[in-house]
Structure 1
Amino acid sequence: MARYLRLDEAASELAKLLAENCKRRRADLAISQAELAERTGIAASHISLIEQAKANPTLEVLEEMAKGLQTTVVDLLAGHTNP
């Protein structure tokens, strides 16, 4: 029997992955959400929601976050594997 992908499940997992990657990258750079907000022009409250996987950012917001985090959108959305 075919199993259909539920879009709400996929979006939820992607939002969690994005949240983890943003937090990890921000920690690597040792910057706060407030500093990222200054770098990007994105409200710190919106960054907080993204990092909690409670908001789905637009492509433009993703691009600005990637710039502010000195990485790429692809890296922010990529899954990480343990070596």
Structure 2
Amino acid sequence: MPKCLHLEEITQPAAVIFGLRLKKRRKELGLSQAQLFERTGIAPGYISYIENGRANPTIDMMVKLADAVGLQIWDMLRPETEQGA
């Protein structure tokens, strides 16, 4: 069960953390951005912006992308101190 986040624990914006984790997971799965588009309907160019921290995706998009790479949105957003917990 997720616990509350304290603002002082957050060192990067959530969209940046999400994008970095999306890119890492997509590459682990051997997926191209075009293949991720096929799974989500989100344009490859926009996926690139998300992965590089230049976009602020909606929660609906984050859920769709997390699901497409087999993760829960919480796994994509939680602080580093809780990774693998």
Does 2:39 match 1:31?
A: no
- CA deviation profile, 1:27-56 (whole Å, cap 9, x unmatched): 111101110010011111110100010101
The structural deviation recorded for 1:23 is 0.8
Question: Gapped runs of 5+ residues in structure 2?
Answer: 1-6
Could you tell me how far apart the structure 2 residues matched to 1:50 and 1:41 are? 14
Q: Is the 8 A contact 1:50 1:56 kept in 2?
A: yes
Q: Hey, what does 1:70 align to over in structure 2?
A: 70
Could you tell me how far apart the structure 2 residues matched to 1:34 and 1:67 are? 16
Q: Check 1:79–1:27 CA distance in 2 against 1; reply closer, same or farther (3 A cut).
A: farther
Q: Among the aligned pairs, what percent are the same residue?
A: 38
Q: Hey, what does 1:47 align to over in structure 2?
A: 47
- CA deviation profile, 1:7-42 (whole Å, cap 9, x unmatched): xxx6x5322211210011101111011100100111
Partner-residue secondary structure (3-state), 1:54 = coil
Q: Is the 8 A contact 1:40 1:64 kept in 2?
A: yes
**Alignment root-mean-square deviation, CA:** 2.1
How many residue pairs align between the two structures?
74
Q: Is the 8 A contact 1:40 1:67 kept in 2?
A: no
Between Structure 1 and Structure 2, whose CA radius of gyration is higher? 1
- CA deviation profile, 1:58-78 (whole Å, cap 9, x unmatched): 111011101111111111112
Superposition pairs of residues 54-65 of structure 1, within 5 angstroms: 54-65=54-65
